[in-house]
Amino acid sequence: MDNSIYQFLFSIFAFILGAAVGSFLNVCIYRLPRELSVNEPRRSFCPACKKPIPWHQNLPLISWLVLRGRCGNCGSKIAFRYFAVELLTALLFLAIWQSFSWPMAIAYWIFVSFLIVGTFVDFEHFIIPDRVTIGGIIAGFAVSLAVPALMD
């Protein structure tokens, strides 16, 4: 296979990874300001009926479109923000991957993930949780040690 096929495949991977990470970021955006655990319950749930969302109704980007922004259980509206965060994260992961080497891209993916969570929580609640700011500081130090090229 030539290099352009690898570029294409890794671009698809970066986009899909970004959408999946965006799905988790939505969990953080919803739960952190409400002081809920991001890992309990393990499954995503409808904000209205609180029923767990089955995996086939929780596919990043696709499920929101197929279900027309509604809960598959109770039919209540699921905010456009969920789709927007997944798409924004996917596009940013793709753009970062196409612009930087792997170690740098991973570092920037971590950075942009913290920014997305902080930004969207702030938009809705006018706060940035300490877990985002302190977590971002710790991640920044760790990544700067792991990827010294960031300091150039």
pLDDT in tens, 23-49: 999 999 999 999 999 999 989 999 999
Q: Rounded to 5 degrees, what angle do the CA atoms 84, 58, 24 make?
A: 60
Mean pLDDT, the chain, whole residue set: 95
pLDDT for 85: 98
pLDDT for 1: 62
Using CA of residue 39, residue 65, residue 90, residue 114, what is the dihedral sign? negative
pLDDT for 3: 84
Structure token digits, residue 16: 């899909």
pTM of the model: 0.94
- Percentage of residues in the chain with pLDDT exceeding 70? 99
